[in-house]
A and B are shown apart, each in its own frame.
Chain A
Amino acid sequence: MSDERAERVLDASEAAALVRDGMVVGLSGFSYQNPPMALVREIIRRRVKGLTIVSGPTSGIETDLLIGAGCVRRAVTAGVAFEQVVPMAPAFRRAAERGEIEVWECDECLWHLALKAAAWGMPYLLWRGGVGTSIPELNPDLEEVQEGGRRYLKVPARPLDIVFLHAAEADRFGNVRAARQAYLGRSFCERALALACRGPVVASVERLVPDDETLGSPERTLVRGAFVVEAPWGAHPGGTSGRYAPDLEHYAEYAAAGEARRKGDPQPYQRYLERHVYGPEDHDGYLRTIGAGRLEALRLGAA
């Protein structure tokens, strides 16, 4: 009926099918927190190629896995970190050192400014952080300019074709929400990415909630107008702020496989991809490779 409000619910494969080869893809996440892994694995299963990934600004396994699976041509990120597990993200390091990906060298402020410029309809923004560093030398499109006797970096706008993020919950109309007790951070870069996007924004969430819950606490709504995909444990092995902790043991296994490949033995990484990405038909299948008991042990006390 035309007078009914449209629902914006997709399943993971419908969401991943929105990605085409060569797109500029925004991915939200902060270190080990809230990476949209269920969607990332679904994108990899579709064997997409040539993506430009705008992630982070300090990103993690979502970026590393897409690179490791061969989906990425260019990474726009201030860092790919596996802090407290290994010093460096293995697939990012390997691909960058072999020249298989380009890296747009930036820091977190430059990353945000490129998105702000896109969000505000500006061709570029001027910024003083980064003058006197290697960043303008390493990026042909990031020149240093003089204005009023001072030097600035001219940060070009970075519009996105599509954005994927993960959050605690959403209603069926595309209001994406943080958990009540999200102490590491209520919001990360969801808004920054969504506002720079000229195409769809897709959020996987731990659960879909009735819309009267949204109306009672609008301060928890991070992004509106998104397509939403229900994917419990959808950030695993990452954590979801206020819901469950990251699975650092899984990160260590992944990192060991990636390090073996970087040093010349591709088998462990291929086994990882087969077991956790290509083997399972969908997200439920992935969760069976981890096991319910192990997942439950990650759940945070009060949610």
Chain B
Amino acid sequence: MSGAGSGLGPLLACVLARELKDGEVVAFGLHAELLLAAALLAQKLHAPNLAIRHGLRVERGPEIGPAAWTDARRSHAHEGIEYLESHDAILDVANPASPMRFCDVFLVGGLQIDREGSTNLIGLKGRDGRMALRGPGSIGTTSIGTLARHVILFSPEHSRRRFVETVDYVSVPGWRRRAAAGLEGGPALCVTSIAVMDFAGGLMRLRSVHPHATADEVRRRTSFPLPPEGPVPVTLPPTAAERAALESIDPSGRLERMPIPAGGEAS
């Protein structure tokens, strides 16, 4: 299993880009170059009116690259900024009808993700039922993940400790918990380094397996059953049009070099 140079960055960017629709607002955090690549790719290929909210900025960058704040001397990131907020604009997520809404589609990860698509960034419980491992905290995920129209789960790591039957704590509620709380809908999709999952009846199922992995491997690295039985489609590799667009938004091959473990971390 090789990390750097596994070439997974371009595939994952394409998989995510295909899910972003024209006219939507997509939001993600500051340190997410892969997600920025997916959004720029969608903008270039099929979603020219996709608005990209990257941290506090709404931007139309021509390409990914080192963030402006880490190495401004080489970055052109600031040239594509069309709007800049202060941080409390995150509260604008509560009115999804406004043209200034915070976002429509939100990409979220977790320390744990469970069968119904709940996520946990709070911590892990020990045998005594108390918090044994303190997580980083829910960051912006709870409210946005609850109030945004579309939630896509994204986790490069695909392991049994990540994909659990039931999360120890809930940062973003999945299908069953949302229904119980009177909230409609639930996460639509879950993308990892080895597979794409979607949901049927509020439970996760396998939609496609990436070309370098097998359905058996995906199931072995997941703590709950993943229907359906039988053959599972292979995730479509980057098409010629996607590869051409990738070259223009990532001319120096940063995605290719991104350290994403090809099989997910050890279970």
Contacting pair B88 A189 (CB below 8 A): yes
- Residues from chain B with Cβ under 8 Å of A300 in the complex: 72-73
> What 4 A-B pairs are tightest by C-beta distance, nearest first?
A129-B143, A132-B181, A79-B137, A107-B142
Contact of B137 among A31, A80, A188 (CB under 8 A): A80
Known A184-B56, A191-B86; contact A134-B180, beta-carbon cutoff 8 A: no
Tell me the complex Cα distance, A219–B265, Å.
Answer: 48
Tell me the complex Cα distance, A2–B94, Å.
Answer: 49
Contact of B69 among A127, A151, A239 (CB under 8 A): A239
Tell me the complex Cα distance, A77–B140, Å.
Answer: 11
Known A112-B91, A189-B86; contact A97-B142, beta-carbon cutoff 8 A: no
Min CB distance B79 to A, Å, is 9
**Can you list, as one digit per residue, whether each of B95-121 has a CB less than 8 Å from chain A (1) or not (0)?**
000000000000000000000000011
- Residues from chain A with Cβ under 8 Å of B127 in the complex: none
Q: Which residue of chain B is the closest to A132 with respect to CB atoms?
A: B181
Contacting pair A184 B134 (CB below 8 A): no
Chain B interface residues toward A at CB < 8 A? 29-31, 55-57, 67-73, 77-78, 81, 84-88, 90-91, 93-94, 120-123, 131-144, 146-147, 169-173, 177-178, 180-183
Cβ contacts A to B, 9 pairs, < 8 Å: A57-B87, A83-B29, A97-B132, A107-B139, A107-B171, A129-B143, A133-B173, A184-B56, A187-B86
Tell me the complex Cα distance, A190–B81, Å.
Answer: 22
List 9 additional A-B contacts (Cβ < 8 Å) besides A78-B138, A107-B171.
A58-B137, A88-B134, A105-B122, A116-B88, A127-B143, A129-B147, A131-B173, A133-B170, A133-B172
Contacting pair B134 A93 (CB below 8 A): yes
Contact of A97 among B77, B84, B134 (CB under 8 A): B134
Tell me the complex Cα distance, A106–B57, Å.
Answer: 23
- Residues from chain B with Cβ under 8 Å of A149 in the complex: 182
Known A79-B136, A129-B144, A186-B84; contact A245-B131, beta-carbon cutoff 8 A: no
Min CB distance A221 to B, Å, is 13
Min CB distance B155 to A, Å, is 13
Interface size band for A: 35 or more
Tell me the complex Cα distance, A186–B131, Å.
Answer: 37
Tell me the complex Cα distance, A110–B93, Å.
Answer: 12
Min CB distance B210 to A, Å, is 24
Q: Which residue of chain B is the closest to A101 with respect to CB atoms?
A: B134
Known A57-B87, A151-B181; contact A81-B77, beta-carbon cutoff 8 A: no
**Can you list, as one digit per residue, whether each of A150-176 has a CB less than 8 Å from chain B (1) or not (0)?**
110000000000000000000000000
Min CB distance B135 to A, Å, is 7
Contact of B131 among A33, A78, A96, A181 (CB under 8 A): A96
Min CB distance B53 to A, Å, is 12
Most buried by B among A30, A92, A108, A116: A108
Contact of B56 among A32, A79, A185 (CB under 8 A): A185
Contacting pair A183 B81 (CB below 8 A): yes
Known A107-B138, A131-B146, A150-B182; contact A192-B87, beta-carbon cutoff 8 A: yes
Min CB distance A33 to B, Å, is 6
* A217 part of interface (Cβ distance < 8 Å): no
**Can you list, as one digit per residue, whether each of A9-36 has a CB less than 8 Å from chain B (1) or not (0)?**
0000000000000000000001111000
- Residues from chain A with Cβ under 8 Å of B180 in the complex: 132
Tell me the complex Cα distance, A183–B82, Å.
Answer: 11
Q: Which residue of chain A is the closest to B137 with respect to CB atoms?
A: A79
Contacting pair B91 A135 (CB below 8 A): no
Contacting pair B183 A131 (CB below 8 A): yes
Known A133-B142, A192-B88; contact A184-B137, beta-carbon cutoff 8 A: no
Tell me the complex Cα distance, A42–B14, Å.
Answer: 49
Contacting pair B136 A88 (CB below 8 A): yes
Tell me the complex Cα distance, A16–B1, Å.
Answer: 51
* A277 part of interface (Cβ distance < 8 Å): no
